[in-house]
Amino acid sequence: MQCSLRLKKELERFRTQPMSGISCWPTDNLYELKASVMGPDGTPYENGVFYIDIQIPDKYPFIPPSLRFVTPIYHPNVDDSGRICLPTLKSPPQGAWKPNMNLASILVDIQLLMAEPNFNDPLRSELSHEYQVNRDSFMKHAREHTVKHALQSQNELSGASSDSCNQFSRPSVKHAAEVADLPDPKKKRT
């Protein structure tokens, strides 16, 4: 009960206080969310729309959510299956998650990680090595990957328009507004 009330408040905040380049909305089950993060300006991910699946544990916010990139991303801290290596996604003592953190802060952390990879803790050491040894090559490959995977998703959602930020945020507002009408999420869980 506490978890679902907290989630509803967080999703309502996404609707009433939209964040630039970040959206989050529920699926049919309040504990399975979708999010999108725009690639930060000045990075090879710029103008890309990256979708993320979010699984909320029953003990949220005392246990962190599980996030996974659905959109492929060429990044040293994200593996081929979309898992993200980020301290705020892990409970102490290995991680930095705290119950006062929320989905918005995690999605901001992910956007910051896109702009500033953590080379001390890579999931893909070959990409970390490429960045450190041949940054131009890394940037070229990351940009090509973004164009292939993230811009395609953006174009599908916005009707093939490359100017997407305002058009892109519309689905999340609709979904967030519907959260109050969702059935009890505990009844859907197995």
Establish if 125 belongs to a structural domain. yes
Establish if 98 belongs to a structural domain. yes
Please write the tens of the pLDDT for every residue from 148-169. 999 954 445 444 333 333 333 3
Establish if 59 belongs to a structural domain. yes
Q: Indicate the pLDDT class of residue 19, thresholds 50, 70 and 90.
A: very high
**What total of structural domains would you count in the chain?**
1
Establish if 83 belongs to a structural domain. yes
Establish if 181 belongs to a structural domain. no
CATH number at residue 128: 3.10.110.10
Establish if 183 belongs to a structural domain. no
Structural domain span for residue 88 = 1-151
Establish if 177 belongs to a structural domain. no
Establish if 190 belongs to a structural domain. no
Distance CA 102, CA 17 (A): 14
Q: Which residues contact 48 (CB under 8 A, 6 or more apart)?
A: 38, 39, 71, 146, 147, 149, 150, 151, 154
Report, as residue numbers or ranges, the catalytic residues: 85
Predicted TM-score (pTM) of the model is 0.80
